[in-house]
């Protein structure tokens, strides 16, 4: 009987799943109200000081601060609250890897679509935007996308690049083409760390000026440029690069489209050139990790045909496209958990 009690099932895992939205919405509210920027550089507040500054009554201020402390976003010393190290690093506006844009994008653009996830499941169509009236979620006419998405992806890309650098040597490359990079966060981080590396941001025409501004602000406009295009429609990718990066791109499309893009990569690369696929990789049985599987669900509400794929699927597609020597590299970052790397045969 004692052994049976030791293994008795609990409802607690289900409670944690159910309450997950509470954590996110509390977090998102703090970002929207600039709480962490207000408390930057070691500033601390009491509940009453916080309430007065935010125009809140004592009760909601007390509840809000307690919740943020419980999430390790604030810490409490005596009767005063201050930013945790995590919040100070990533949630203060103006910090190099500010994560708040990503939170705002998910809160304001994606979260409403998740309210209709059953509709997405039944109809196999996105609920974040309407394919009947828009060409894609990335339409320049979508004000929220233009305001939030590219900024959201910027910090995520830079942080992911930092993690990849620790497990893969980019000093072997000289010219990098980042396909669908967004605002340039990935090549900016790479070119900072590897002075002999130059890069090109290949993006939609309406995104290239955003990337150019970020690149100039980083002081790297002499080594990173932009090229306007659409890899889903252009017959070929720009050539002259020894490495092509596909970071968080393939999960946005279906298998047929991804295979076609890999063939374009093969044709654009010189003999011996490398392609890097950076993604949240599912395991071969497609049972996890949860971050990869749930991002697949996110693609259901956000994209037409997008899904997260298993590492073995990428390896298979690369082989079919004519690439050799596939390698799977593991790392942990907000934007990816690994990379699949392969090269074009030298002869």
pLDDT of 183 = 85
| Tens of pLDDT, residues 217-248 | 999 999 999 999 999 999 999 999 999 999 99
| Tens of pLDDT, residues 250-301 | 999 999 999 999 999 999 999 999 999 999 999 999 999 999 999 999 999 9
Q: 67 and 105 in one domain?
A: no
Any domain includes 125: yes
| Tens of pLDDT, residues 184-206 | 999 999 999 999 999 999 999 98
Q: 191 and 113 in one domain?
A: yes
pLDDT of 264 = 98
Assess whether pLDDT exceeds 80 at residue 140: no
Domain total of the chain: 2
Which pTM was predicted?
Answer: 0.91
| Tens of pLDDT, residues 13-72 | 999 999 999 999 999 999 999 999 999 999 999 999 999 999 999 999 999 999 999 999
Any domain includes 95: no
pLDDT of 5 = 55
pLDDT of 144 = 73
Q: 126 and 254 in one domain?
A: yes
Confidence band, pLDDT 50/70/90 cuts, at residue 149: confident
Q: 152 and 18 in one domain?
A: no
Confidence band, pLDDT 50/70/90 cuts, at residue 153: confident
Domain CATH for 311: 3.40.50.150
Domain boundary among 90, 108, 136: 90
| Tens of pLDDT, residues 84-138 | 999 999 999 988 889 998 999 999 999 999 999 999 999 999 999 888 888 877 7
User: Which residues carry out catalysis?
Assistant: 251
Q: 148 and 23 in one domain?
A: no
Assess whether pLDDT exceeds 70 at residue 150: yes
Domain that holds residue 38: 2-90
Q: 105 and 141 in one domain?
A: yes
HEC states along the chain? CHHHHHCCCCCHHHHHHHCHHHHHHHHHHHHHCCHHHHCHHHCEECHHHHHHHHCCCHHHHHHHHHHHHHCCCEEEECCEEEECHHHHHHCCCCCCCCCHHHHHHHHHHHHHHHCCHHHHHHHCCCCCCCCCCCCCCCCCCCHHHHHHHHHHHHHHHHHHHHHHHCCCCHHHCCEEEEECCCCCHHHHHHHHHCCCCEEEEEECCCCHHHHHHHHHHCCCCCCEEEEECCCCCCCCCCCCCCEEEEECCHHHCCHHHHHHHHHHHHHHCCCCCEEEEEECCECCCCCCCHHHHHHHHHHHHHCCCCCCCEHHHHHHHHHHCCCEEEEEEECCCCCCCEEEEEECCCC
Report the mean per-residue pLDDT for the chain.
93
Any domain includes 66: yes
């Amino acid at each position: 009987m004692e052994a049976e009690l030791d293994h008795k099932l609990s409802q607690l895992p289900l409670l944690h799943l159910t309450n997950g939205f509470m954590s996110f919405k509390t977090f998102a509210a703090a970002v929207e109200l600039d709480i962490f920027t207000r408390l930057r550089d070691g500033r601390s507040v009491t509940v009453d000081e916080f309430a007065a500054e935010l125009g809140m009554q004592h009760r909601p201020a007390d509840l809000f601060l307690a919740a943020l402390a419980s999430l390790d976003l604030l810490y409490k010393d005596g009767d005063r609250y201050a930013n945790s190290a995590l919040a100070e690093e990533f949630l203060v506006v103006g910090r190099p890897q500010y994560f708040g844009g990503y939170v705002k994008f998910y809160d304001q653009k994606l979260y409403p679509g998740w309210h209709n996830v059953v509709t997405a499941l039944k109809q196999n169509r996105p609920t974040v935007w309407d394919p009947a009236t828009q060409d894609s979620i990335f339409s320049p006419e979508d004000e929220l996308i233009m305001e939030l998405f590219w900024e959201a992806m910027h910090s995520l890309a830079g942080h992911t690049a930092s993690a990849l650098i620790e497990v893969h040597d980019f000093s072997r490359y000289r010219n990098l083409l980042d396909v669908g990079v967004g605002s340039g966060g990935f090549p900016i981080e790479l070119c900072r760390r590897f002075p002999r590396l130059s890069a090109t941001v290949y993006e939609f025409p309406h995104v290239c000026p955003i990337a150019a501004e970020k690149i100039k602000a980083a002081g790297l406009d002499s080594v990173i440029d932009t090229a306007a295009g659409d890899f889903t429609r252009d017959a070929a990718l720009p050539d002259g690069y020894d490495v092509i990066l596909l970071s968080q791109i393939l999960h946005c499309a279906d298998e047929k489209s991804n295979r076609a893009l890999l063939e374009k990569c093969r044709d654009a690369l010189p003999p011996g050139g490398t392609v890097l696929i950076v993604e949240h990789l599912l395991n071969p049985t497609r049972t996890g990790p949860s971050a990869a599987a749930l991002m697949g669900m996110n693609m259901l509400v956000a994209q037409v045909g997008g899904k997260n794929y298993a590492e073995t699927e990428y390896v298979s597609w690369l082989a079919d496209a004519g690439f050799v020597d596939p390698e799977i590299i593991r790392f942990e970052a907000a934007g990816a958990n690994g990379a699949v790397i392969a090269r074009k045969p030298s002869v």
